[in-house]
Amino acid sequence: MTGFALIVAATNELGIGVHGGLPWRIPKDMAFFKHATTLIPRESKGMSNNAVIMGRVTWESIPQKFRPLPDRFNMVVSRNLNYDLHTEAAVLAGSMEEAFKVVEAKNPSRVFIIGGAQMYSMGIKKPECTHILLTRVLNKVDCDVFFPEIDPDQYRLANHEELEAYVEQEVPKGVQTYKEYQYEFQMYVRNV
């Protein structure tokens, strides 16, 4: 299996969602998500778009007009293989392992797990998970689903230059403010 990244926005308590959706709407974070997951890196030997792997609940949380996420290979995981995606432009898999198999056959440039909690928990344990792009939301926000603990023996907080190099773009550094939200772009990388 080739490497992949997790991308997420989470509070200090690692809250990521509430009532089947995102707890906030932060446009510049969403723009960062779109850029990071769509970017085909310069050094990429992959010949096609990036792949995004998500659980069924996350798929349903994406507004209909935005899904499948354009210019990315959309892979949805559900144990129910009769689940109807209502589009030909996304592919259903019965497990994360199956999803990786299908995705690798596509030769994507990069692979991202984009949620939710169950997908992140499975992904973060795999040695192939090389990067965690984490938008840290500094507010206390009521959440009912959580990102898994990031083991400091497994991952270290990268510096800002490493984050910018990974997304091949300038990224605002330090605490950002949007409406009532304060947030910061971070990246963790797997220890060698």
3-state secondary structure of 124: helix
- The residue within the footprint of ligand FOL, chosen from 51, 57, 69, 90 (CB under 6 A), is 69
For residues 62 and 153, which CB has a smaller minimum distance to ligand FOL in the complex?
A: 62
Q: How many residues bind ligand FOL (CB under 6 A)?
A: 19
Name which position in 11, 49, 50, 58 contacts ligand FOL (CB under 6 A).
58
34, 126, 156, 160: which one contacts ligand FOL (CB under 6 A)? 34
Least CB distance to ligand FOL at residue 107 (A): 21
Among 51, 115, 119, 124, binds ligand FOL (CB under 6 A): 115
Residues 149-188 that bind ligand FOL (CB under 6 A): none
Dihedral (C-alpha) 57, 59, 65, 66: value to the nearest 10 degrees?
Answer: 130
Can residue 33 be called a binding residue for ligand FOL (CB under 6 A)?
yes
Which residue, 72 or 100, has its beta carbon nearer to ligand FOL?
Answer: 72
With 0-12 / 13-18 / 19 or more C-beta atoms within 10 angstroms meaning exposed / middle / buried, residue 105 is exposed
Nearer to ligand FOL, 17 or 192 (CB): 17
Nearest-5° Cα angle at 161, 47 to 166? 15
Rounded CA separation 145/147 (Å): 7
Please report the DSSP string for 57-123 in residue order: HHHHHS-GGG-SPTTEEEEEE-S-TT---S-SSEEEESSHHHHHHHHHHT-BS-EEE---HHHHHHH
- Binding residues (CB under 6 A) for ligand FOL: these are 7-9, 22, 29-30, 32-34, 58, 61-63, 66, 69-70, 114-115, 135
